[in-house]
Amino acid sequence: MSLPTLLSQHIVRRPQRIALLQHIAEQGSITRAAKSAGLSYKAAWDAIDELNNLAQKPLVERSVGGKGGGGAKLSSEGERVLRLYQKLQTLQAQVLEAAEDASDLDLLGRLMLRTSARNQLHGKVVAIEAQGRNDLIRLELAEGLTLDAQITHDSTVRLELEIGTEVVALIKAGWLELLAIEDAATPGHNDLTGRIEEILDADDGPSEVRIGLPNGQTLCALAEPLHLKTLGLAADQPVRVQFSPSNVLLGTPL
């Protein structure tokens, strides 16, 4: 993903982080820039680290310590990106005027997400249950289908998850276990029922099984041919898919 694309997502989703560049240029101090941008001191440092990591060259040059919490200034690359930000602000206003619905921007954000996980399911947080240091996050997918994800409480805070937050659930194909319809699922696991759309056999290794869910979403699982034969599973047959909530990764737009 290119830097302009990443930065444009920051502008749409978290404009204060990119705007922090302008505050740093004006204030010359992390503390003063954070206050001017409406961020905490820690959030400002986190934002600087994130922006520097996204860019090929550091955008902010800083020195730790001092009464002002450390000096800071934009590098030449930071100044260039700030000019880009100002141009993107103008473009953003034009896009917002052209968008027929707010959900259009959400859709574009989801389509631009790239990940190695084969299964990417868009959903909305409908419940958060504390479980010690972890949280059980219940997601509502399309057509009311639900699944659970178990993540650390720190991750819940970092992703700013709350009821109504839209997320993308990521599940690797190898983490899905196929069951016959009559089989009992493991207690506490996600248990979804679908229909096998296609089985792609490999020359060596597991077959790729595409499963259509009743809400129109699709899962991709990996299964050994012998396992499929033992379960009597074939194309156009119903199947159950189970996976642990701890094997569900959650992502939110930048």
Residues 128, 137: contact at Cβ < 8 Å? yes
Supply the pTM of this predicted model.
0.58
- How many Cβ atoms sit within 10 Å of the Cβ of residue 47? 23
Query: Which range is least confidently modeled, 86-90, 123-127, 128-132, 136-140?
Result: 86-90
Q: How far is CA 91 from CA 8, 75, 192, 248, in A?
A: 10, 24, 42, 35
pLDDT of amino acid 1:
39
For the chain, give the mean pLDDT.
81
> For position 107, what pLDDT does the model report?
59
Per-residue pLDDT tens digits for 152-179: 999 999 889 999 998 888 899 899 999 9
The span from the CA of 21 to the CA of 43, in Å, is: 13
* Residue 14 near residue 6, CB atoms below 8 Å: no
Q: Report the side by side order of strands in the sheet with 119-131.
A: 146-152, 134-140, 119-131, 166-171, 249-251
pLDDT for the residue numbered 106: 62
Q: Which structural domains are found in the chain, ordered by start?
A: 3-108 (1.10.10.10), 116-168 (2.40.50.100), 171-245 (2.40.50.100)
Model confidence band, residue 105 (pLDDT cutoffs 50, 70, 90): low
Q: Among the listed ranges 119-123, 234-238, 246-250, which one has the minimum average pLDDT value?
A: 119-123
19-64: per-residue pLDDT in tens? 888 899 898 888 888 888 888 887 887 777 767 766 657 788 866 5
Look-up of token digits 């206050």: 35
Beta strands 119-131 and 190-200 are unpaired
Plot region of 237 (φ>0 → left; ψ -120 to 50 → alpha; else → beta): beta
- Specify the pLDDT at position 8: 46
Distance CA 34, CA 77 (A): 20
Label residue 115 by pLDDT band (50, 70, 90). low
Give percent above pLDDT 90 in the chain: 37
Q: What is the pLDDT of residue 3?
A: 40
The pLDDT value given to residue 158:
87
DSSP string, 143-180: GG-EEEEEEEHHHHHHTT--TT-EEEEEE-GGG-EEE-
